[in-house]
């Protein structure tokens, strides 16, 4: 029930304006009882609208521009384009074409790439092509550098912590400010704990592509036993076929749970066959499978759909649902001082939503970059 003050792309503490500058607002906007929330941050999105970030194409830059523009209507103001397990040649071609940039009318901001694989478990590869999987056994961190080619634009790396010499790699990545996530793994609890001790702070799509919780050894899932390691977060798909949500949000709603879309190229398109890197996938509702199988391979859910479904499925508060898509991913990436909140001096990336959490307008740096028109489009 308050005013939100914005100046020069930042959320303003109006006290100085009132008392020192004796000023007032140049422009006033009636939000008509909308909910004002921080812009959503998607840290795992493989593509959308026909664009696959794991395919090296001549028009890759135009593809990533298209996705960044389209997701504004779903409330996403920043994202991490995600590459699934691919041949080294794909990383060498694609990663130099991804650059960290601010958002605006051209589209959502890019925070850096999320590299999911190829240093993952063969047993829990999921939709990742087995022939592209790699290990650290020969040169550890040098193997990773040779595979990716460059880490200049990389924000997150998902790897399996049970792989030999993974601790060396985790330490080297965290030294460079890169978030290490555990996933596609058969790690036991001891191996997972060791990875956290060396700097891992995230779990990629909890419960999916990892050992199930077992009373003798709970595996990676066991990291979430109270007390949860400080700073550890986990991602969930907010579509019910992937993970039952009700048991998750209450124990770990204090900042650990991060909503991701894990969206593929088919997001925003009609059902049919699409790609996920080297694989052909089929859309079934909001879920996707490797063609001809029941192996899950991402989703086609948008972030606003994820937020609504999470709130409905768990009965959590609106604030909790919104924070899982804004504050929590910002905390994961260490950018909560500028994104993911409506605090003074934060970037003025925010949304207007109705009471049912449908996006009405999207703002980046205080500028309107998308608004639902009268026809509802």
User: Residue positions in the annotated binding site for substrate?
Assistant: 127, 208-209, 216, 242, 296-298
CB neighbour list of residue 74: distance below 8 Å, 6 or more residues apart: 40, 302, 303, 304, 305, 359
The catalytic residue positions are 262
**CA–CA separation, 99 vs 333, rounded Å?**
16
Helical segments of the chain, H only: 14-19, 60-70, 88-94, 141-148, 166-175, 189-197, 246-249, 303-314, 318-324, 327-333
**CA–CA separation, 261 vs 276, rounded Å?**
14
Q: What is the DSSP string of 279-328?
A: EEEEEETTEEEETTS--EEEE---HHHHHHHHHHHH---HHHHHHHTTHH
**CA–CA separation, 331 vs 353, rounded Å?**
22
Question: What six digits make up the tokens of 247?
Answer: 């048991």
CB distance 360 to 37 below 8 Å: no
Question: What six digits make up the tokens of 377?
Answer: 């489009």
Burial 40-49 (b: 16+ CB within 10 A, else e): bbbbbbbbbb
CB neighbour list of residue 190: distance below 8 Å, 6 or more residues apart: none
Residue ranges at the known binding site for Zn(2+): 116, 184, 205
CB distance 239 to 262 below 8 Å: no
CB distance 78 to 109 below 8 Å: yes
**CA–CA separation, 369 vs 83, rounded Å?**
26
Whether the upstream peptide bond of residue 227 has omega within 30° of 0, thus cis, is yes
**CA–CA separation, 245 vs 314, rounded Å?**
6
């Amino acid at each position: 029930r308050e005013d939100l003050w914005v100046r020069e792309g930042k959320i303003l503490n109006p006290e100085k304006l009132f008392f020192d500058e004796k000023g007032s607002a140049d422009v006033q906007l009636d939000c008509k009882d909308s909910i004002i929330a921080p812009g959503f941050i998607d840290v795992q999105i493989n593509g959308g609208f026909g664009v696959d970030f794991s395919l090296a194409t001549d028009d890759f830059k135009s593809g990533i521009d298209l996705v960044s523009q389209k997701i504004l209507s779903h409330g996403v103001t920043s994202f991490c384009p995600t590459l699934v397990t691919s041949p080294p040649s794909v990383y060498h071609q694609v990663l130099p074409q991804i650059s960290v940039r601010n958002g605006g009318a051209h589209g959502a901001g890019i925070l850096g790439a999320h590299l999911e694989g190829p240093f993952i478990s063969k047993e829990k590869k999921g939709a990742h092509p087995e022939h592209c999987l790699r290990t650290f056994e020969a040169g550890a961190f040098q193997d990773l550098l040779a595979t990716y080619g460059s880490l200049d634009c990389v924000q997150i790396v998902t790897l399996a912590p049970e792989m030999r010499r993974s601790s060396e790699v985790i330490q080297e990545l965290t030294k460079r400010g890169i978030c290490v996530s555990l996933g596609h793994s058969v790690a036991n609890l001891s191996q997972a704990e060791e990875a956290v001790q060396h700097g891992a702070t995230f779990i990629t799509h909890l419960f999916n592509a990892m050992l199930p919780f077992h009373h003798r050894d709970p595996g990676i899932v066991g990291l979430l036993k109270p007390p949860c390691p400080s700073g550890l977060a986990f991602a969930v798909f907010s579509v019910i076929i992937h993970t039952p949500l009700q048991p998750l949000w209450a124990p770990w709603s204090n900042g650990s749970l991060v909503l991701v879309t894990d969206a593929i190229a088919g997001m925003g398109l009609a059902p049919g066959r699409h790609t996920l890197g080297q694989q052909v996938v089929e859309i079934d509702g909001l879920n996707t499978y490797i063609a001809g199988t029941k192996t899950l391979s991402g989703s086609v859910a948008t972030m606003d759909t994820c937020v609504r479904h999470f709130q409905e499925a768990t009965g959590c508060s609106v604030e909790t649902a919104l924070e899982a898509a804004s504050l929590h991913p910002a905390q994961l990436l260490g950018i909560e001082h500028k994104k993911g909140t409506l605090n003074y001096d934060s970037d003025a990336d925010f949304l207007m939503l109705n009471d049912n959490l449908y996006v009405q307008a999207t703002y980046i740096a205080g500028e309107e970059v998308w608004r639902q028109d009268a026809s509802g489009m």
